Structure 1
Amino acid sequence: MWNRPRFDLKVRLTLRVAAITAACFAAISAYFLIAADRDAHARIDGIAAIVAKSLELQQGKIQWLPGPRSDFPNLDPVAAYVMTPGLCLAFRGASGEMLQRFCSGAPAPASPPPQAFAAFYRSLFDPGREAARPVTVRGAKLGEIVVSVDPAVRTAEAWHDAGRLTIALAIALPLLCLLVYAALARALRPTRLICTGLERIAANDLTARLPPFDLAELSAIRDGFNHLAESLDNALAERSELTRKLIALQDDERRHLARELHDEFGQSLAAIRALASSARHTAAQDCPALLSECDGIARTATGMMETLRGALFRLRPPDVEELGLVASLEGLVAGWNGRSRGETRFTIQFDGAFETLPAAISANLYRIVQEALTNAAKHAGATKVGVQLTMAGEEIALAIDDDGRPGDASSKSGMGLLGMRERVAALRGRMSFDVGPNGGSALRVVIPLAATEPPVLEHAA
């Protein structure tokens, strides 16, 4: 199984979209606050201009009409039209004294702004800034109109506008994240097929292929994946063919060596035994003291012939194609039980019909079992060795367990294990050699019965 990333790609992209969206909302909020501040200043500037113009008209009317001028400035007529909550109108005389001032009250806000927002807003803007317009009549400045808004009212209005944007953000952001996550999950669903294909490739299943994808980027990955899998499959097929040829050449060399040993050494040992028997017959008549030496030569020759028979059996086993795999393996196990003289007990079990196996699979399975039994008995020092051969579906499973030394270096890295791996690779199978559940060693081999067409992974809807 592949190591999973610490952060899911969909979650990471969704968080980035959320961060960008929040930044956009913040920028929009800042824009609205700036625009509202400009509109507020423009409004009080406009009010100051209107009031100043009204006072200029008042002064002009007073000059043209007879009567006292004590009612100037009179802000009452214009205040009724321009006053808003928190607005203050004032007339500052030419000498700087405040001659008249009107301020409208402001109701307490339903939700007062937080102190942090009020401090932040006042640090960026000037909600209490005054707008002043001079009142001039015939070139003489009589004073100026001063218009201002209560800073608390401006801050409350800004918080009201910002609060609406905050509510909109609180509603829209989770919904947007959910929609983005769903869209990304759908768009990235084919990555599961890619991961599955990579896991099959890692498990030496080079028949895995990816289907076409809608996205151009994933289609490029699919083309590269399928090309890589096909190239590896072809390379493995060429390697398997070369391995099969090498194994066939090795078997031919073994048969040739077996013939040479049988013809040369076998006849020589038979001749030695015959000469020892003749010498013993002569010694019995002329020199009885040599009888023991003649018997020793005969025993040595007999032991060498027994050893030679075992070597010939390992070099050239019974014809598996004629006897069948089951009979050949039963004979192999029986031979090991006979040679071990009770020191090691060998058992074998079969599950399935092995009569129709191809000759190449049968011969290689026999060699694998033969080498595994040799490793278990001679190198691992096992006292119990169990062989189980099972045919299920389109695969053959071989399991060999022993109670020997699992850490034995010669059994794990020797030429015997290498030969078994080569035979399994030639059959496009899988092999593992590990410590058994109850100690000892556990050899597992899985061999497909026949090659199949490369399957295509189903496209996820």
Structure 2
Amino acid sequence: MQNRSLKAGLSWLIAFALLAMLVVNVAILVFHAGPRVRDEADNTERLARELIIAELAGLQESVDPLPDLRRRFDNRERFRHIKVQFLSRNESYPVIVAQSSVDQRSDIPKWFVSFVAPSPRVSVIPAVIRGVRYGNIVIASYPVDEVAEIWSDVISLATASLVATLIFMGVVLLLVRRSLAPLDALASGLARLERGESNVRLTLKGAREFGDIATRLNSLGRTLDRVRGENQDLLQRLVRVQDDERRGIARDLHDEAGPCLFAIRAGASTLVETMSEEKLDLSLGRKAVVEIQRAGEALQDVVRRMLDQLRPPGLSELGLQAALQSLVVNWRGMRDDLDLTLECSDDLEPLDEAVALTAYRLVQEALTNIYRHSEATRAWVSVRSTRRTAPGEGGRSLDIIVEDNGVGFSGEGGKGLGLLGMTERVKAFDGSISVAERPGGGARIEARLPLGGREHLA
């Protein structure tokens, strides 16, 4: 199931928080309404008692107190929230209690009444005039007005708070949506990058965090554009390298294998002509055989050299160390004026064939550059298996170092397509390679290939 969007999540969170605040405010008002009603009823009842007692004192001189008592205290509603009534001695007061109940108000919810309004209370003051008790003055609590006022306040506050909450919620949600609007532009930019579009750049306005994300996304776009350009340039270079290799093979076949084949054909023709004569010329036939033998040996050398370029001899069968030793011996035979030294550790075997082939090609290309361009008199090749103990470099690696005391690299021009191809191949193994000037003169090529048991294509 798709997750809810950030905008929707924030909107619902803000709405819930504002509604919760509204509910809390109303609950606080309702919670304090009960004590308010009770205090108002107690104060009114206390004041009424004092006034009734004072009026009874004024009736002590009355000749006929009973009519005066009924006139003054029969259904007296001078007091707010209470009822005062005079009852003779033979009258009871449950009727006034029922009349004082707030349950008679249909416009007030029952739950609010039961929570806020106190239970009806009745207090009795004996109506005694000159020592004679004529009846009772009954005071019944009647808080219906106060409860109605509080309920009206609750409704007004809730309505005003709800309107204010809705307005505030609308403003906040609008601000949230405007603040999160850059997310749409970010999503669009990422989608364009995913589709492989180039020159993706974002200009965002808003919070600083969105600006930082846009800056990093623009940097990612520039990096991808650069990598795409480098890959295109590399593909073009690789195509040129393949064409150069094909032209080199064709040149070797034409310049070296061609004359050998011609010599073999010429010798074979001489043998045929000699054998067709009535009297054989053994010396001429022997000379033709010798020429054919020499041409065959030369052709064999050409084929061996071409095979060496295509696939190192003995690498799969004998291992990297033996293949490197054979390579160094061949280079030494080509130039006597170059002192070439090879050092290999004893724990090179077994190696993954792809790693071994990469190491061999790297050394081969480095020696080719030394022989062709360096004008060096000494060269050193070191191939060692090393265990890394630094943080983040756990495991073993194959370290390759090729140095010479020649003229070094003249800027980037000295780094040919061969080394460029080796650089890409080393990076394919998550390795590293550096090509730099050697202290004291000359060049230094250093490469490191991880040996973590990972499988790579040759």
- Which TM-score band (shorter chain)? 0.3 to 0.5
Structure-1-length-normalised TM-score:
0.46
Which structure has more RCO (C-alpha within 8 Å, separation ≥ 6)? 1
Structure-2-length-normalised TM-score:
0.46
Q: Which structure has the larger Rg?
A: 2
